[in-house]
Structures are given as structure tokens and as C-alpha cells.
Amino acid sequence: MERNKIKEKELEFLAKEYKKNPELFKQESFIDSLEFLEKFGIFIKDKKNFPNGYLKLWPQDFVVEEITKDRELQTVEIDDFLDKKRDFSEEKSTIYATLVKCGLSTIEAIQELTNFLKGEKTRIQFAGIKDKDAITSQLISIRELDINKFQKFNSPYLFLKNAYSGKGIVETGNLIGNKFTILIRTDSFFQKEKILDKLKTIGKEGFYNFFYLQRFGTPRLINFYWGMFILKGEYEKAILSFLCSPGKRENAYFRNLREEIKENFGNWEKIEKITEPFPLILQNERKVISYLKENPEDFIGALNQIPEQVKLWVFAFTSFLFNEKLSFYIKKGIEPPKALPLILSNDKKDWLVYKKFLEKNRISPFSLKNLNPFPFIQRRKRIIQTKGNIIIEKREIVPEGVALSFILPKASYATTFLAHLFNLVSGYPPKDISNKSIDTKEILGTGSLKPLIKRFKEITYPKGENIFEK
């Protein structure tokens, strides 16, 4: 069944549940305050005095366009399936194409393509994971595929364009950076002069390069615990928390559902029934549950059913440690080193950087041996810059807020940069911001989003809209 039809069935089920108890689906506003961010190791000075800024009211408020290793911008503009400048030859075994998506993470989009192609997911490669609540574009590669089949793919969530043939593949991390076109919505008390001054300062000095909240799995924001359990070899605890622990920003309905799963933990047939109405929302949980129903004690095998997720969890914990170490320097008034390693390295010197933080989390002595059952998690040296450099291309103060166009290198988050300007707000939008659909590219004079807004109209709506009332 197509994704949009499955999603429609999920929403129909949830609409019935909503009618039974609307309070369980009550939407909340969430502010990324100093106190909240410190739970993820993030410390930004003077944050209590920052104005609030609402992100991603509409997907088109947050546009991400990848810059490849060849410095080619993968635009979001609608274009022909075949590339106009590069030829296609069946003699070359790799198809390259630009993937433009809305309302899906990169991993979900790749799964959509895989389901259509009925092939191995490893044949589809990409350089980096792009935001879900956004409109994004990136280069992908697919090996040994009939172009005619590829051309027939159709989805309301994504499209492919500028396909051409070549050799090699798109490798993870093999990009220069990303170009962002963003609208931050503000209230009527917003003081534009202060933001303009801050933009000048950050443009010159950069910003502290924290891993931001999406690294920790929104809306639950607890995936780094699961990574920590895996590094400790506590695989059952990782599964238990993944299935049962309520998320920090998850609605009450799903928090209650996870409590029901916890009460029946080990009764995999019963849990499979509980999660049956949610083949998309709980798709990863259901893969784990389906495996455990046949292999009740094999928690390692269960984790191997969701390799991309497990990889993200482990990296989330290493990111949490990086954030804590960087914040340690800032709080002490010590200039951080230009770069810090992550712990997923065979070089013990990289571990020693985090010795006190590992001891605090009861992972001492530290070892990577508990990652042995997961060969997809590569152990190699990874060095992350402690300051992010930014190229601010355009900026405009508009009645709705601030429109920005800027470029960040890879391994830097747009939300981290924006968190140095605003206390970011998500979830239910505040009453004093505009909910008008805005063409940010048009405002900045960098093109137009109107064709894309029309293309994705079927699946987009503003945050705060009660879809269950429809």
C-alpha cells in the first residue's frame, strides 16, 4: 500500500481516538530555553535574554539545499527527470539524481524508494540526513537499476530530478555543506536591531558548534540513552527504553500507549496488537517487535532489524558527550580547542577527552567491544570543529519575522546557529505570530517557492492546525 494511503488510515484511527478523549492529543508549545538545552549538554551564554523565534510553522519555512563535494548546489526547484547537461548511458552502472522531499526524513524517503524498487536499501546512497519538517534537496546514487523503472516513481512526499549516469557512489559525509533559506517567525515585541547586530558578530566570529535537538530524536529526545545502553552492552535495556519510555515532547496518547507496552513487555504478540494501527508512526518499533515475537530473547538480533536507527542512537550519545565537553569550556571561561574528537575511535586518546563524563555515566573503563554485534557502526576517528563558520548571504526583516539565506559547512546545524539568536519555539504556535504561508525565497530575491508549495500542497499544513477535526 502507498505511504499516503497508509498514513490516511492511521489518521482515521487517531481521529476516532481523538473523539474519545481530545485531551490526550492537546498540542503544546515548546521553548528551547537555557534550562531545557542543558539536559542535552548545550550551554549558550545570555540565553535568558534572547527573543523567542518560531521555526517550521510551514515546511517551506525551512528549506535546505545540499552542496556536493563538487560544489554543485542541489536546488529544490522543480525540473525534468533527466539532467539537461549530462548524458545518460546504460554502460555506466550508477544513476545519480537529486531527491527533493517534504515531510519525510532522508531515511524515510530512501525507504519509500526502496519499497518501490523492491531492492536492497544499501544500493541507495546519500551524503547526509536532511530535516523531516522541511523542504530539502540532496544528491543520491543508485547502483545497477533500470532507468525506465526509476522514472515511473511517483509520491506526494518527494520527487526525483536531474538524473544522469556515472561511476562510483555518493558516500556518507561526502558533501561541502548546505544552503538554508529560513523564516523565523517572531512576535510584535521583536527588536530587529539587536538581531542584526548579532548576525554581524556571528558572521565574523562564528558560533559554538553544538549538536542540536534533532540529533536526539524529536519529539522523544531520549535516543542518546539507548546509545549509552548499547555501549554498555545492556541491549535489553535499550529495547525496553526504545519501546516503553515516554518522550519529552511526545503527546499524552502515545505516552499512555508506551505505558501499555511496558505493562506487557515480553508478551510480543500482545504488543504487536497494541501497535498494529501505526505501521508508519511506529514502524521501527514494529520491526523490533515482529522479530522478538519469533526470537524472544535475541535483543541483539532485534536491534539489527533497525540498523540506521541504532547507528543514530550511538552517534547521539557521542554527540551528547561532545556537547557536555564544549559546554564545560564555555562555563569555565576557557577558550575551547578548535576541534574535539568523538569517542567512536580505536584511538584511546579520543576517549580520554571524555574520561570524567564517561565515569559520570558509569561507562568506565570504556570499550567499543559492545559494538561488535553491529558492524554497520564504523569505528574511525571523527574530528568535529567546536566553532561553526557561517556565510550569511541575505537577510530581511519582514512583518512575520526574519528571513535568512546562509551557508553552513557539513557537521553544523542551522538550528544551533539560530539558537545563538533566539530561544527557538516549536510545537503549537503562539497566538501572536502570523500563520500566513510565506515564499521566503521570493522575499530574499533568490527565486520562488510557489511551484514547490503547489507540488506538496496535498501533504502540507501549518503547525497548530487540528487535522483530527477535518
pLDDT at 120: 59
> Which of 385, 403, 435 finishes a domain?
385
pLDDT at position 239 = 98
What's the CATH code of the domain at 99?
A: 3.30.70.3160
pTM for the model stands at 0.93
CA angle 461, 129, 88 (to 5 degrees): 100
Collapsed DSSP state (helix, strand, coil) of residue 10 = helix
Task: Please report whether residue 461 resides in a domain.
Answer: no
Tell me how far apart the alpha carbons of residues 187 and 399 are, in angstroms, rounded to a whole number. Answer: 9
**Which three cell numbers mark 362?**
558509569
> Which of 385, 411, 436 finishes a domain?
385
Is 470 a member of any domain?
A: no
Residue 135 has phi, psi (to 5 degrees) of: -110, 120
pLDDT value of residue 189: 78
DSSP H or E run through 398:
strand 391-398
pLDDT of residue 22: 95
Same domain, 337 and 188: no
**Number of domains present in the structure of the chain:** 3
pLDDT, tens digit (0-9, with 9 covering 90-100), for 232-263:
999 999 999 999 999 989 999 999 999 999 99
Please report the pLDDT score of residue 1 as a whole number: 64
274 Cβ contact list (under 8 Å, min separation 6): 257, 260, 261, 264
- CA neighbours closer than 13 Å in the CB half-sphere of residue 469: 6
Residues 373-395 pLDDT 10s: 999 999 999 999 999 999 999 99
Q: With CA atoms as reference, report the closest residue to 136 among 249, 56, 219, 52.
A: 56
Q: Is position 456 within any domain? A: no
pLDDT digits over 96-112, tens only? 999 999 999 998 999 88
d(CA 104, CA 347): 36
**424 falls within a domain:** yes
Q: How many CA atoms lie within 13 A of 60 on its CB side?
A: 25
Three-state secondary-structure class, residue 232: helix
C-alpha closest to that of 287 among 269, 309, 271, 302 = 302
Per the CB < 8 A criterion, the answer to whether 102 and 63 are in contact is no
Please report, rounded to a whole number, the percentage of residues in the chain having pLDDT higher than 90.
80
Same domain, 370 and 423: no
Of 385, 406, 432, which one is at a domain's C-terminal end? 385
Range of the domain at 319: 1-20+211-385
Q: Which of 404, 267, 387 is nearest to 337 (CA)?
A: 387
Rounded to whole angstroms, the Cα distance separating 105 from 88 reads: 28
Cβ neighbour number for residue 442 with a 10 Å cutoff: 13
Same domain, 271 and 349: yes
For 57-72, what is the mean pLDDT? 96
Same domain, 124 and 82: yes
Q: Are residues 362 and 342 in the same domain?
A: yes
pLDDT at 470: 66
Whether residue 223 is found in the same domain as residue 254: yes
Average pLDDT, the chain: 93
Please tell me the predicted confidence (pLDDT) of residue 192: 81
Across the range 5-28, mean pLDDT stands at: 94
Judge whether 230 lies within some domain.
Answer: yes
Strands 94-102, 135-143: pairing kind: antiparallel
| pLDDT tens digits, one per residue of 308-348 | 999 999 999 999 999 999 999 999 999 999 999 999 999 99
Residue 469 is assigned to a structural domain of this protein: no
Q: What's the CA gap between 345 and 21, in Å, rounded?
A: 49
What cell does 235 get? 541491549
Same domain, 230 and 118: no
User: Which of 64, 94, 170 minimizes the C-alpha distance to 127?
Assistant: 170
Nearest to 173 by CA among 202, 138, 135, 218: 138
Cβ pair 130, 49 in contact under 8 A: no
Identify the weakest region by mean pLDDT among 5-9, 17-21, 117-121, 411-415. 117-121
Same domain, 233 and 370: yes
243 by Cβ neighbours in 10 Å (0-12 / 13-18 / 19+) ranks as: buried
Examine the domain organization and report whether 256 and 322 are in the same domain. yes
Residues 339 and 236 reside in one and the same domain: yes
pLDDT tens, position by position, 152-162? 888 999 999 99
Residue 464 placed within a domain: no
> Using alpha carbons only, what angle is made at residue 169 by residues 167 and 171, rounded to the nearest 5 degrees?
150
Q: How far apart are CA 356 and CA 352, in angstroms?
A: 8
Q: Confirm whether 133 is domain-assigned.
A: yes
**Does residue 139 sit in the same domain as residue 191?**
no
Picking from 8, 59, 28, 51, the residue whose alpha carbon sits closest to that of residue 219 is 28
Q: What confidence score (pLDDT) does residue 121 get?
A: 56
Amino acid 286: pLDDT:
98
Share above pLDDT 70 across residues of the chain, in percent, rounded to a whole number: 98
From residue 180, alpha-carbon distances to 66, 196, 332, 448, 459 in Å are 9, 18, 33, 14, 22
Alpha helices in 34-191 (DSSP H): 34-37, 106-117, 147-151
Query: Binning pLDDT at 50, 70 and 90, where does residue 40 land?
Result: very high
The per-residue pLDDT for 119 is 64
Q: Within its chain, how far is the Cα of 42 from the centroid?
A: 17
C-alpha to C-alpha distance for 108 and 123, rounded to whole angstroms: 15
Same domain, 329 and 368: yes
Asked whether residue 117 carries a pLDDT value surpassing 70, the answer given is yes
The string of pLDDT tens digits covering residues 174-202 is 899 999 999 999 987 788 888 989 999 99
φ/ψ (deg, to 5) at 62: -140, 95
